């Protein structure tokens, strides 16, 4: 039997109290234009990826995570010191964690698959690519 070794990269909050690893190759990367991502990032969208729960390894700071329910079906975790978002977990995807690529310390290999929550995109934010656009999360 052949062993498959998955290369990983590190991520962290701003103050490095919370650190984690994820696979270097991220296959489901999307630009998210939802109001929550815009509020949490202070920008017009965030870049997010679903990572399998088994592949997301918290390496430091579990006791520094604060969880809250941001919507009826979503739990968010952030650092209680610097408030940086670490991950979100959707009830509809219990085997995945959604991370923001801005929290990664190294360059991942990405496959960007589209824009989500375009229905909440502000008019002043312009999409200038040919990627698929979804009104909500798909």
CB 20 within 8 A of CB 56: yes
Tokens 């997301």 -> residue: 56
The residue ranges of every structural domain in the chain are 8-120
Q: What is the pLDDT of residue 1?
A: 62
* Nearest in space to 8 (alpha carbons), one of 20, 17, 89: 20
Rounded Cα distance between 87 and 65, Å, is 10
For the cut 70, the answer to whether the pLDDT of residue 110 exceeds it is yes
Vertex 124, ends 121 and 126: CA angle to 5°? 70
Q: How many residues does the chain have?
A: 138
The CATH class, in words, for 8-120 is mainly beta
Q: What is the pLDDT of residue 129?
A: 94
Bridge-partner residues for 67, per DSSP? 77
For the cut 70, the answer to whether the pLDDT of residue 15 exceeds it is yes
CB 118 within 8 A of CB 133: yes
What is this structure's pTM? 0.85
44-100 pLDDT per residue, tens: 899 999 999 999 999 999 999 999 998 888 899 999 999 999 999 989 889 999 999
Q: What is the pLDDT of residue 2?
A: 62
* Nearest in space to 121 (alpha carbons), one of 137, 100, 138, 135: 135
Band of residue 5 on the pLDDT scale cut at 50, 70, 90: low
Q: Where do the H-state alpha helices sit in 4-99?
A: 35-41
For the cut 80, the answer to whether the pLDDT of residue 38 exceeds it is yes
Rounded Cα distance between 49 and 30, Å, is 6
2 or 131, which is more confident:
131
Q: What is the pLDDT of residue 4?
A: 63
């Amino acid at each position: 039997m052949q062993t498959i070794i998955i290369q990983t990269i590190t991520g962290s909050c701003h103050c490095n109290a919370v650190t984690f690893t994820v696979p270097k190759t991220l296959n489901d990367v999307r630009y998210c234009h939802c109001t929550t991502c815009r509020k949490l990032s202070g920008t017009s969208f965030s870049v997010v990826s679903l990572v399998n729960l088994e592949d997301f390894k918290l390496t430091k700071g579990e006791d520094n995570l604060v969880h809250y329910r941001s919507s009826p079906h979503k739990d968010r975790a952030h650092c209680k010191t610097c408030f940086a978002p670490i991950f979100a977990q959707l009830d509809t995807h219990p085997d995945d964690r959604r991370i923001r690529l801005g929290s990664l310390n190294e360059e991942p290999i990405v496959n960007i698959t589209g824009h989500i929550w375009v229905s909440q995109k502000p008019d002043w934010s312009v999409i200038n690519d040919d990627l698929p656009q979804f009104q909500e999360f798909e």
